[in-house]
């Protein structure tokens, strides 16, 4: 979810669901060791519960970054062993780490030791295999090693292989077949561990079905492209008594209030933030016209509240006309 689940995106999602655990974009250890730490780690209190996702393969570096995560107040630190991109592979982390379960165990152990004085869990996100290695034994042994030798207790399993050569990251989310049953078997074989299923989950019926077999479900791009789909999760799956928001109008208005407070409003400031809500009104009459207004660069000098008024008006009538832009 690089360049997707930034701070603005997470604030939007938190307006829709209070209890769903949100994850950051993957942040590399190098970015935290040599870059602007605050830029990568700062977040708003309302984003919690929030997990920091790390990319790296050096135990000492990951331990340092885990301490930073604890210092910043994250609720979880997650080691990414599932990203298949060639750029990540060149850094010797992501999905290629599944070929080195003992190294992953060492990384997790170092991270756990670094935050041992806190309650922050160290978790691992991974695939069910790499390349054409499609035996269940491969992922079973990976989980067993990282759990026993590294002390990891929570595994988030994308139920596809990662093909390290020949497929783009997008193709790696579509071409390797889904094997949800592998994740079910992991839970059966390791009942004391927390197993979270990821991959190919696109509706609440599927979530409910998977929760009969595993401890949790992670939803990625579906939640991003159709954020209002999360509106029922607090009540249906997480025990909340009421919804975070009553309707999409409320979410839009509250998010625009947040966007209007951004110091970079003006120029392209609010465009960068409001791109995350383009799917908010999926299926509603006039949604296409509403999106056209919010993505219209000609309006970038207008206030977000003004643009919201134009967008809602466009939902009720013809597409935004040139004269409306300067009205």
Specify the DSSP class assigned to residue 245: -
Residue whose token pair is 């970079």: 264
> CA–CA separation, 171 vs 164, rounded Å?
11
Tokens of 240: 């909340």
Sheet holding 122-130, edge to edge: 22-28, 50-55, 76-81, 122-130, 154-162, 194-198, 216-218
The pair phi, psi for residue 192, each rounded to 5°, is: -80, -10
Which of these, 46, 51, 60, lies nearest to 17 by C-alpha position?
Answer: 46
Catalytic annotation, residues: 83
Which of these, 119, 144, 124, lies nearest to 83 by C-alpha position?
Answer: 124
Specify the DSSP class assigned to residue 49: S
CA distances from 297 to 92, 195, 266 (A): 39, 44, 11
To 5 degrees, how large is the angle CA 76–CA 104–CA 147?
A: 70
Tokens of 125: 């996100």
Using DSSP's 3-state secondary structure scheme, residue 76 falls into strand
């Amino acid at each position: 979810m690089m360049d997707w689940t930034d701070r603005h995106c997470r604030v939007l999602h938190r307006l829709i669901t209070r209890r769903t655990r949100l994850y950051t974009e993957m942040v590399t250890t190098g970015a935290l060791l040599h870059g602007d730490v605050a830029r990568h780690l700062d977040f708003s209190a309302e984003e919690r519960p929030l997990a920091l996702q790390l990319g790296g393969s050096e135990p000492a570096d990951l331990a340092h970054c885990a301490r930073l995560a604890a210092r910043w107040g994250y609720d979880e630190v997650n080691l990414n062993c599932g990203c298949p991109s060639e750029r990540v592979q060149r850094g010797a982390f992501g999905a290629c780490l599944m070929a080195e379960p003992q190294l992953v165990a060492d990384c997790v152990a170092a991270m756990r030791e670094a935050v041992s004085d806190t309650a922050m869990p160290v978790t691992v996100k991974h695939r069910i295999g790499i390349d054409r290695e499609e035996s269940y034994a491969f992922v079973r042994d990976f989980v067993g090693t990282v759990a026993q030798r590294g002390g990891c207790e929570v595994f988030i399993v994308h139920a596809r292989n990662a093909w390290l050569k020949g497929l783009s990251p997008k193709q790696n989310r579509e071409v390797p077949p889904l094997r949800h049953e592998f994740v079910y078997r992991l839970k059966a074989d390791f009942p004391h561990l927390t197993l979270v299923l990821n991959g190919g989950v696109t509706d609440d019926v599927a979530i409910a079905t998977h929760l009969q077999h595993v401890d949790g479900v992670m939803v990625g791009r579906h939640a991003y492209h159709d954020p209002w789909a999360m509106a029922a999760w607090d009540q249906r799956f997480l025990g909340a008594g009421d919804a975070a928001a009553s309707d999409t109008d409320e979410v839009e208005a509250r998010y625009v209030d947040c966007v209007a407070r951004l110091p970079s409003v003006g120029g392209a400031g609010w465009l960068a933030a409001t791109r995350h809500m383009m799917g908010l009104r999926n299926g509603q009459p006039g949604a296409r016209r509403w999106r056209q207004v919010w993505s219209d660069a000609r309006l970038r000098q207008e206030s977000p509240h003004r643009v919201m008024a134009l967008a809602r008006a466009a939902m009720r009538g013809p597409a935004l006309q040139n004269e409306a832009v300067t009205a």
